[in-house]
Amino acid sequence: MRGVTVLMPVFNGERFLQEAIESILQQTHRDFELLIINDGSTDRSRDIILTFDDPRITLVENSENIGLAATLNVGLGLAKYELIARQDADDLSLPERLARQVDFLEKNPSVVLVGTQAVIIDQQGFRKGRVLDRACTHDSIRWDLLFDNSFTHSSVMFRRSIIAQLGGYDMAFRYCQDYALWTQVARHHSVANLNVCLVHYRVHPFDRMSHKLKDLIASENRLIMRDYITDTLGNDSVSELELDAMVNMRLAFEKRWTQPFVGLVARFIDAYQAIRPSSNHSLDFKRTVARRYVRAAYKAWRSHPWCVLAVLAPAVGRYPVVRVTVRWFVNLMWGMAGDICRHRVRKLREACIAIW
C-alpha cells in the first residue's frame, strides 16, 4: 500500500482538534504522515498537538496567519508523499477512509481526485440526519460542478504532482479555493467520489454571518461558476440573470429566482448531454440531476413552502428517480402547516385590530 500525507491546517481549532487528530491516528491504513500546519493560532491548538507522541505527526508553524489557501500550498510543498488526503481540524475521518481511497486510486490510475460521501454532524458530534450526497462518476461530477462544489473538502485525496501542475490552491479565493481548484482539475483529469460515507463533516451555525461576508462568498462563487460554465458549455451559455439565480439559490432560496433556476437546470441538462452523450445512460447522472432539484426544494420549503411543487414537478416529470426521504417529507409538511397557521393567525390578528 502506498504512503499518504494527511494535510491538516489549523487556525484556532482547539475545540475539535483532538478528535480530528485521533480519527487519523486510528486509520487502518498505517503508512501515512500527518502534516499539521498551525496557521498562527492564538488559542491552545499548539499545546493540544504537542500532547500527541506519535512519530507520524509533523507540526509546522507559520510565523503569522496567512490564510487557508496559502497554508495548504505550504503543505503541498512540504508533503512527503505523492498522495495527499485533506483533513480539517473540526471534521472526523472513519477508520477505513484512507485505505479505501488508496485502493481506489491504485486501481484507477487515471483518476486524479477522489472524495467520499459525508455524514453531517453538529458541534456536539451528533448526526443531523442528513448526508452530503455527492455525485460519483466523472460525467456526473462535471455537470454538478456547474452549480456547486461537488466534493467535501475533508474527504478528498488527490495526486500532488497534478495539483502542483495546476498551480495548487488559488490564493485569490478566500473562502471558495477548493471549489475553484476542483473545477480546474475536472476540466483536464478524471475525478470521482466513492459511494460510501467515510467522513463526518461538522457544520457550524452561521446565523451571525455578516452581509459583507455573504456578499464575498457570493462574489467568489459567481466568478468560479461563470468561468467553469463558459469553459464547459461555451460562450453565451449563461446570462447575468441566470448567474444571479444560481448564486442566490445556492446560498439561500429566494422565490423570485425559482423559475429562472428551474429553466436553467433543464437547459443545462440538454446542453451537457449533447456534449457528453454517455451521460444519457448513466443512473448516477440521473440521480445527480434529481438531487439538484431536491436540494433546491429543500431550501424552498423552509421559507416558501408553496414553491416546492414548482421546483420538483419538472424533476419528477423528467427523472422519476427523485427520492424524497421520510424525514424530508415530514419536515416539508410541517413547514407547510406552519405557513398555513401563521397566515391564519395573521389574518385573525388583523381582524381583531380592525374590530378594535
**99 part of a folded domain:** yes
Q: Which of 152, 171, 202 is the last residue of a domain?
A: 202
Q: Is the pLDDT of residue 308 over 70?
A: yes
| pTM of this structure | 0.87
Domain with 307, as residue range(s), is: 211-324
Q: Are residues 150 and 266 in the same domain?
A: no
pLDDT of residue 345: 59
pLDDT of residue 1: 60
**331 part of a folded domain:** no
pLDDT of residue 320: 53
- The C-alpha R_g of the chain, in whole angstroms, comes to 22
* CA 240/CA 233 separation, integer angstroms: 15
Q: Are residues 258 and 120 in the same domain?
A: no
pLDDT band at 207 (very low <50, low <70, confident <90, very high): very low
Q: Average the pLDDT over 23-43 and give the result.
A: 98
Using DSSP's 3-state secondary structure scheme, residue 34 falls into strand
- Render pLDDT for 257-297 as a digit per residue (tens, 0 to 9): 778 888 888 899 999 999 999 998 898 998 898 888 888 87
In this structure, of 3-17, 128-142, 191-205, the range with the lowest mean pLDDT score is 128-142
In 39-93, beta strands by DSSP E? 57-61, 83-86, 92-93
**87 part of a folded domain:** yes
More confident site: 159 or 355: 159
Q: Are 6 and 32 in contact (CB under 8 A)?
A: yes
**18 part of a folded domain:** yes
Q: Are residues 272 and 129 in the same domain?
A: no
Mean pLDDT, all residues of the chain: 87
pLDDT of residue 14: 96
3-state SS of 285-318 is HHHHHHHHHHHHHHHHHHHCHHHHHHHHHHHHHH
pLDDT band at 341 (very low <50, low <70, confident <90, very high): low
pLDDT of residue 11: 97
Q: Are 69 and 169 in contact (CB under 8 A)?
A: yes
**186 part of a folded domain:** yes
Q: Is the pLDDT of residue 185 over 80?
A: yes
- Render pLDDT for 76-114 as a digit per residue (tens, 0 to 9): 999 999 999 999 999 999 999 999 999 999 999 999 999
How would you label 277-311 residue by residue, b for 16+ Cβ within 10 Å and e otherwise?
eebeebebbbbbbbbbbbbbbbbbbeebbebbebb
Q: Are 226 and 243 in contact (CB under 8 A)?
A: yes
In this structure, of 83-92, 136-145, 163-172, 264-273, the range with the lowest mean pLDDT score is 264-273
Using DSSP's 3-state secondary structure scheme, residue 123 falls into coil
**141 part of a folded domain:** yes
**184 part of a folded domain:** yes
In this structure, of 17-31, 81-95, 220-234, 298-312, the range with the lowest mean pLDDT score is 298-312
Q: Are residues 97 and 192 in the same domain?
A: yes
Q: Are residues 159 and 232 in the same domain?
A: no
The CA angle 328-338-305, to the nearest 5 degrees, is 55
Q: Are residues 187 and 232 in the same domain?
A: no
- Check residue 174 and report its DSSP letter: S
CA trace torsion 182, 292, 282, 201 (10° rounding): 50
Q: Are residues 158 and 178 in the same domain?
A: yes
pLDDT of residue 253: 65
Q: Are residues 168 and 100 in the same domain?
A: yes
**139 part of a folded domain:** yes
More confident site: 152 or 206: 152
CATH number (domain holding residue 108): 3.90.550.10
Q: Please tell me the total count of domains within the chain.
A: 2
Q: Are residues 195 and 224 in the same domain?
A: no
Side chain identity at 181, as an amino acid letter? L
- Render pLDDT for 223-268 as a digit per residue (tens, 0 to 9): 999 999 999 999 989 988 889 888 888 777 677 777 888 888 889 9
Q: Are residues 250 and 166 in the same domain?
A: no
Q: Is the pLDDT of residue 63 over 60?
A: yes
Q: Are residues 235 and 186 in the same domain?
A: no
Q: Which of 151, 184, 202 is the last residue of a domain?
A: 202
pLDDT of residue 324: 47
In degrees rounded to 5, what are phi and psi of residue 322? -60, 125
Instruction: Determine which helix (DSSP H) or strand (DSSP E) holds 197, and give its type and residue range.
Output: strand 190-202
Q: Are 202 and 119 in contact (CB under 8 A)?
A: no
Q: Are residues 218 and 187 in the same domain?
A: no
